Each structure stands twice: as C-alpha cells, then as structure tokens.
Chains A and B, each alone.
Chain A
Amino acid sequence: MNKTNQGGGTVIIGEYQKQYTLDSSHVRLQFFPHLYTMNWDQCSILADYFASYFAICFPEKQHKQLLSTISYLVNELFENVLKFNVCGEVNVAVTAKPQELIFLLTNQLEQSKVENFSSLLQNLISQDPLELMMEKVEENFADEASTASGLGLLSLMADYGATFGWQFVDNNIADTVTVKTMARLPIE
C-alpha cells in the first residue's frame, strides 16, 4: 500500500512526484467551473486540444497513437471533474518528457468526500488494474442500477500503462481539500 502522511495535513497516495508542479509545466489551463459552468461536450473539446497540442511534440509516426491516447486520458480526467463534487477552480498542467507525458490536475473537494475518495484510490493502486477492471465490469453488470462505470482510471492503468498519484492538502480557510492528481503516461 503506497500511502504516506507528509505532515501539515498533506497525504500522498500512489506515485506522486512532487518535483512536477503547475509552474514547471509546458502548458497550464485554469478553469472556474463554480463561476462558469462547464458542460459535458467541453470535456472532449479540451481533450482533443491537449492531444493535438502535445502529439506534435513527438515524432510523426507516433502522432495517431498519441492523439487518441492523450485525448482519452484528458477526457476521462475532465469527465471525473464534472461528475464528482468539485468546488472552486480547476487547474490542468501538462509536461512533455522524451519518454512520458505528465499530467497534473488540481481541484478542490469537499472535506466530507475525502475519506471515501481516498479509500477508493488506495484500492485502485493496491491490486492488479486489469483484474480490478474485470471485477468492476462484472460488478456493474450485476448491479442494474449502476450508472457510473468506474472504469476511467482503471482502463488507463490496465490498457495504457498509465500510473497515478494523488496529493491531498488540507485547506485551512475552507471546508475543502485540494486534490492534486498526477497521471504519467509512458510514450511507446
């Protein structure tokens, strides 16, 4: 189990590399969904933007693969932002390295949601992602009332080899926690 308490109200789950920050990124976008509502279709528009922007940082023979993969990853991250309870601004930053792309998504979560969310994430990183994904699909099938798939991060880990880490930082001035999600996508 990869969970560490960093002190000062900071907890890390999974593979979170603190040297990558919003300020060290190639591109950073900031959104204010609590002020200007984001809609579902904007997720794919943003995803396609990031995909087009970063695919051409790599050799041409990789473009088609990268356009699809980056778009899938960013779309899933943004869909999660819209689906789950988010309050306050959202930042997305991307850094391109020769062998990988690093995505850092920062958003605010209500304190009351943190325990369930962090348990879910710990479960996610503590098992084989393919096995967990298979179990999740069987579970979704058995539960006719289920509406969310829960497959986004799992499929990225199982099918794309992406790794994830999260940093939770307590905000002192509000009943919220800042959640930083780091996704690292290996470039084939």
Chain B
Amino acid sequence: MEAIKTDDYHIWYDQDNNIVYFEGSLRLNGVGEYAPIISLVDAVVDKHPEQVSWDLRKLEFLNSSGINVLYKFVLSMRKKGRNAMKVVGSNTVPWQQKSLANMKKFLPSIELEMLD
C-alpha cells in the first residue's frame, strides 16, 4: 500500500521522486491507529534505504501521538545507521515551526528544510 486517504488526511508515496507526502490533519488515537501509516513509511524505507524524504508542508495538524510516531521513526533511522534523511516543512504551519526542529536532536544529520 503506497497511499492512505481519508476525509481528514492523505499520505502517499511519490515513487518517481522517492518522497512520502503527508497532507491534512492527523489526530489519531495512539500508536494503534497510526499503525497503517507506520507500515507505509517503513515499506518505503525498506525499498529505498539510500535516502528517506518526507514532505510535511501540507500537514496542517498533528497530535502528540503523531509527533511521537515521527520522532520514533527518526530514532529507528538512527538505530539502523541510516543517516540520509530529508524533511521538508513549512514556516506557515505553526506546529511545524514549533516542533519539527526537535527531530535534529534525535538525528543531527537530518536535512530539515523549512519553506515559506
């Protein structure tokens, strides 16, 4: 599965450019409800271990369970020794301004690009 789409969010993998896009509002209940999204992201990493790229610019809302999932994924990259990871965020999405930089604390090699 390389896309998950509901009324609230759309997660999809752009195979040509090797980028996972996150869009919409993700406020799911705990790790259990995030499991399909974790599976999608993990499957992409297994296919293309050389570089992981996420585009979060259109992810307007994320609850703390979702933030936990993002941070844990970064830790899993660190554990696997896969340091090539790029995250594109938006300066116009407040939660991203507040919280995305924390990912660099878990994996300093992350390339975090915040666009307007």
Q: Report which A residues bind B (CB closer than 8 A).
A: 40, 43-44, 64-65, 67-69, 71-72, 75-76, 79, 83, 130, 133-134, 137-138, 140-141, 146-149, 151-152, 155, 158-160
Contact = CB atoms under 8 A, between A and B. Distances in A.
Interface of B: 25, 27-32, 60-61, 63-65, 67-68, 71-72, 75-76, 92-95, 98-99, 102, 105-106
B105 A134 contact: yes
A64 B61 CA distance: 12
20 contacts: A44-B61, A64-B92, A67-B94, A68-B94, A72-B63, A76-B63, A76-B64, A79-B63, A79-B65, A83-B30, A134-B105, A140-B68, A141-B75, A147-B30, A148-B31, A148-B65, A149-B67, A151-B65, A151-B68, A152-B63
Given A68-B93, A72-B95, A140-B72, A147 B105 contact: no
Contacts of B92: 64
Contact of B106 (A40, A83, A137, A148): A137
Given A43-B27, A137-B106, A155 B99 contact: yes
A139 to B, nearest CB: 10
B31 to A, nearest CB: 5
Nearest to A76: B64
B61 A72 contact: yes
B47 to A, nearest CB: 23
Contacts of B32: 147
Nearest to A161: B98
A155 B31 contact: no
Contacts of A152: 63-64
Contacts of A138: 75
A149 to B, nearest CB: 3
Contacts of B67: 149, 151, 155
A172 B1 CA distance: 55
B27 A44 contact: yes
B61 A71 contact: yes
A137 B31 contact: no
Nearest to A158: B102
B87 to A, nearest CB: 16
B65 A68 contact: no
B96 to A, nearest CB: 9
A146 B65 CA distance: 11
A159 B72 contact: no
